[in-house]
Structures are given as C-alpha cells and as structure tokens.
Chains A and B, each alone.
Chain A
C-alpha cells in the first residue's frame, strides 16, 4: 500500500478528534473521504501531513514510517498537500508561489509545463497571490503543489467557496492528474457531486472514525445518503 494508516488517533488539547483511523490507499488510486463538518476530515489530512501530532497509531507512506517526521520531511518524500482555504502566499507573485514548491534547477521549464495544465494562470504570473479570486487561488494551490512533483496529493475541500465554472475546471484537472499522470489522490470533500464524479471509492468518516466504504454510484442512492450523510436525494 502507498499510504497505510493504522489505528491513528489525534487530539486538539484534551479533545479527541481522530479515533483509531484505519486507511489504505494503493498507488495510483483516487480515494474520497466524505463527512459532515467537525467529523475529523481536515484533522485527518493535517495529521497525515504532520501538522497535528499522532497520539497513537502509525502512518506509513511509500513503505516508510513517517509518523514522527516533520511536515517538510514528508513533503520531500513526495506527499503533497492542497489545504482548505488554499493558503496562497498573498504577498508573493503567482510565479513566486509556484517557485516555492520547487527547489531544483530548471524552474522556468517546470513552471511552463505546469501552466499547460493551468492556462488560466499564465496571464496572472506577475500578479500577487492575494489579489487572485478564490477559484484562481485554488488552481494556483494545486499548481504550486504539483511544482514539487509529489507522488501523492492530499486535497482538503478544494470546492469550498469556489464558483461552479471553476469547480467544473477542477474536475477536469483532478481527473487529468489521476488518469494521465497516475497521481495517487486522497480527497476530502463535502460536495457529493464532486467526490462521486472523481473518486474510485469513498470513505465515510464520522466522529473521527472511518465508518464505511462506498462505491461512488452508491452516493447517489437516497437511502445511503439519508443513513450516512443525512442529506436529501437531490445530489444527483
């Protein structure tokens, strides 16, 4: 398994957030994690990246135990992260945001290659990151992550606060990253349409525990939605 999480527990202060998470993602797989607010989705990704320390359990990435490694060491192993809220460097230009993700020679060639996937960013290269719209920032956050050539990317609610036209663009981009570039992806979302469109399998998280695994088409069944997600059938 490319990402193998065993009995992972984490807490904020004395409040437990993750309770014995079991999670496996194979190389080249696209896995979605679905759940309500406050169920531990973001904390799961932040713990996988090393921003929240694991109280218990083990995180193995690419057959290496990274449980005690700092975030930058995990990133250097090829674990990419596109956080909730994008976290663009607002004072840096779009070009410099992209350069932050890459530490080697040939940075301009790398940026040119990335811009082929994100042509919308090309005319914005010299604009400050903080001056972009939410959708443009989301594209930049993904492009910046790709600049580091990750083996796997953790996406935290990329559709949050994004206009529908950009969400459609995100579907195309993420599918392309998965199918053409063979990237392994773990996507945390609340947008049922989006996750059903992209993920090969979906994990339902509740109170910090993986409750059940579903096929994407099951997400469209009314009884499943009502039982596990608690929303209506209009999700498609």
Chain B
C-alpha cells in the first residue's frame, strides 16, 4: 500500500505512467539514509527529509519533463524511463552499486515463541494514517478539490480561474513525496541499492490498475487483497510461489473485473 499510494495519485489521478516511480522510492530511501548518517533523527529522516527531498525532485521533473508530455503516453513512458536510468546512474556513481541501510528503530516484541518487529507494526499504522490523511485532504481541503476537479476537466477548471499547470505540479509533487516517504520508511527493512526501484514498480502498477478508478478505495482494497495472497502463500510455501500467486491473483481479478475492483465495488468512492 505504501509503495502504491504515490503512484495512485500520479497514475490513478493524473494518468501519467511514471516509470521512474521506483527510482523516486529509491531516492527516498537514500535521502533517509544520508540524513540519518549525518546525525538527523531517524524518524525525522524517514517522515520528513525523504518526502520533502523526493517531492522537490518530483516538482522539478514535472516542470522540466512531464509538463510538455501530458496526453502523450508513449512519450511520457520513454521520458520517465530515461529519467529512471538517469537516477540509477547518478546514485550508482555517488553511492556505488551496494546495499545501504539503516537499523530499524524500536526493536521487537515477543509473542510466545515468536518475535515481531515493532517497527513493522508501526509501519502498518503509518500506512493506514497516510491513507486516511490523503482521503481527508482530497475530500475536505480546497487543494484536494482543485486536484480532483482539474484532473476531471482541466479546461473547465481554467475557465473558473484555476491554474492547471500549478495544480499538476503540486499533485505530481505530492505523489512523488508520498513515494519518497515510502522509500524512507522501507529503508530500515529492505535496505536500498540503486536498482531497488525495479523490484517495487511492477507491484505498484499492478495494485493501482487492479484497484480501478477510485484511487484511495481501489489502492487500499487491491493492496490488502494482493498483500494477503502474497503473505499467505509465502508462509505456506515459498516466497517465489507467493510472488507468483500475487501475479495470478491480479490476472484473475482483471479478467473478472476489467475496470478494477472499484469499477464494480465501492463505485463513486474516492
């Protein structure tokens, strides 16, 4: 869910296929690691530094590249692929092609014979809080209203005095920031290397597409479904079968519900 929520905004709302989504995640991880290594509190590094840095990078990318390509899907795809290669090359040059990481905070708690990472539990809470926060912003604030209206009909929004270029930049920036936040939060669990984005980007797209048009309800329901299938099969068999099961579930779901989960269920929701 954490990985997909930024993409839900950029792809789900703006219909921009951002192949550099995984690299935004990777940059968030590095931003958190670098900040922590320079003495910044790990929570501030993960929750503030990572999203702010990647949000700024996102706004710059939107202004310099994405802006001139709206409505040109293939061109956007190629441009963001190039952007992703650029980020991978840049980070490899600076940090090398090795795994970097930071220690997970909070330690673990024992439940009988088992030990659970407290940080992983907190992550679940943070993911839920982020989802609620995005819902509240989109549903109740003027910024959320302008974003929803502009994505539905940019010309009409402009006729009402709204500047679509500004709304696009802000929305893309927020989507990038959320992806950076996810990268920062995942850094203590999985570590970060320059090519880590590739491991996540496919899952993120599968989740958002399977979710359907309602970006929040769709992403949350698809992430819950696929996460459950993946973890259950991984627990019962092997991680490889878990991944295969996730893909099979996505194919089956899109075969039965071509417009995604919210094309049939939760219609009209956000």
Range of interface residues on chain B?
Answer: 10 to 19
Bound Cα distance A132, B146 (Å) = 21
Interface string of B235-260 (1 = CB under 8 A from A): 00000000000000000000000000
| In the complex, chain B residues whose CB is within 8 Å of the CB of A75 | 158-161
Interface string of A95-106 (1 = CB under 8 A from B): 011011101000
Bound Cα distance A70, B163 (Å) = 9
Question: A49, A76, A96, A128: which contacts B145 (Cβ < 8 A)?
Answer: A96
Bound Cα distance A49, B160 (Å) = 11
| In the complex, chain B residues whose CB is within 8 Å of the CB of A148 | 160-161
Closest chain B residue to A79, Cβ basis: B159
Of A86-94, A177-185, A197-205, the one touching chain B: A86-94
- Asked whether any CB of chain A lies closer than 8 Å to the CB of B156, the reply is yes
CB distance A70 to B158 under 8 Å? yes
Contact residues of B: prevailing secondary structure: helix
Give residues of chain B (129-165) contacting chain A, Cβ–Cβ below 8 Å: 142, 145-146, 148-149, 152-153, 155-164
CB distance A100 to B146 under 8 Å? yes
| In the complex, chain B residues whose CB is within 8 Å of the CB of A92 | 145, 148-149, 152
Bound Cα distance A91, B146 (Å) = 13
**B interface residues, Cβ below 8 angstroms from A:** 142, 145-146, 148-149, 152-153, 155-164, 268
User: Would you give 29 A-B contacts (Cβ < 8 Å), ordered by A?
Assistant: A51-B155, A70-B158, A71-B159, A72-B158, A75-B158, A75-B160, A75-B161, A76-B161, A80-B159, A83-B156, A83-B159, A87-B153, A87-B155, A89-B153, A91-B148, A92-B145, A92-B152, A96-B145, A96-B148, A96-B149, A99-B145, A100-B146, A100-B157, A101-B161, A128-B268, A144-B160, A145-B160, A148-B160, A148-B161
Other 8 A-B pairs with CB < 8 A, given A70-B158, A90-B152, A96-B149: A51-B159, A75-B161, A89-B148, A92-B148, A100-B145, A103-B161, A128-B268, A148-B160
**A interface residues, Cβ below 8 angstroms from B:** 49, 51, 70-72, 75-76, 80-81, 83, 87, 89-92, 96-97, 99-101, 103, 128, 144-145, 148
Nearest 4 A/B pairs, CB to CB: A75-B161, A71-B158, A81-B159, A72-B158
